[in-house]
Amino acid sequence: MTCHPPPLRRDVRAVPGAPAQLVPRWAVGVAALGVLLFATSLATTLACTRAGCDLPAAARTALGTDTIGGLPRLFTTVLLALTAGSALRGTLAASGAVRRWWVGVVAVGAALCWAKLTSEHSVLENEDGRSVVLLAATAGSVAVAVLLWRTAARWSVPGGPAVVLALLADTAAALGLDQLTQEVAGTGHQGLTVVATTLEEGGEASTALVLLLVVRWAAHRVRRDRSPSVPCR
């Protein structure tokens, strides 16, 4: 029998569970870009709030800290879209029950992406009230997390628990920081509200990046586990 040994990995960090694997170089670049983007958005919005703004309306929209269609919101939306795409890769690499689990992660990632893109959370708050939306969103998030956690354990999904924890962190940031911003906005201080909004959006972007990294790592484990090597004799 002729066998072909698996190619040597160029990345010596490709050890299951190795922390360094979760922080590739491109992620550092994305994080730096995010810091620059949100800092620019904060400075621009504060300047326009305090002394009026000479920027065109399109520029104010693009740099708005919480504007639908603005770059800060789109930054996070793209990260969530990439997360859903990475989960789809895990789905295609898996089979059986593990594949069904990854389909659930794809659905959750797509829902998070859509909610961020359309600001569905704010729309529902205006219609149904903040407390009702917060309670419903929290209950739904916990229910989905428990379901994914239990099925990941039952079906031995590689990296499943880490994905669930990252999803919980992202949801907690979105819900918790939004409540904090609403409280600050209630004080009527425009400058503090802008800062709080920027911290909210930046926090959501940070947890979205972490979620992307964890999902990519878990999907990679699925693909690796399905590529058995044949020992040569």
pLDDT digits (tens, 9 = 90+) for 182-215: 889 888 888 899 999 999 999 999 999 999 999 9
163: its two tokens: 């994905």
Domain for residue 99, yes or no?
Answer: yes
- Provide the domain limits for residue 201: 24-225
Domain for residue 78, yes or no?
Answer: yes
Domain for residue 10, yes or no?
Answer: no
Write down the pLDDT at residue 65. Answer: 83
Q: How many domains is the chain built from?
A: 1
Domain for residue 146, yes or no?
Answer: yes
172: its two tokens: 């907690």
Domain for residue 112, yes or no?
Answer: yes
d(CA 94, CA 225): 9
Q: Which residues contact 9 (CB under 8 A, 6 or more apart)?
A: none
Compute φ and ψ for 50, nearest 5 degrees: -85, -40
Domain for residue 8, yes or no?
Answer: no
11: its two tokens: 């990345």
Domain for residue 6, yes or no?
Answer: no
Domain for residue 3, yes or no?
Answer: no
Lowest mean pLDDT among 83-97, 108-122, 188-202: 108-122
pTM assigned to the model? 0.83
Average confidence (pLDDT) over 124-149: 82
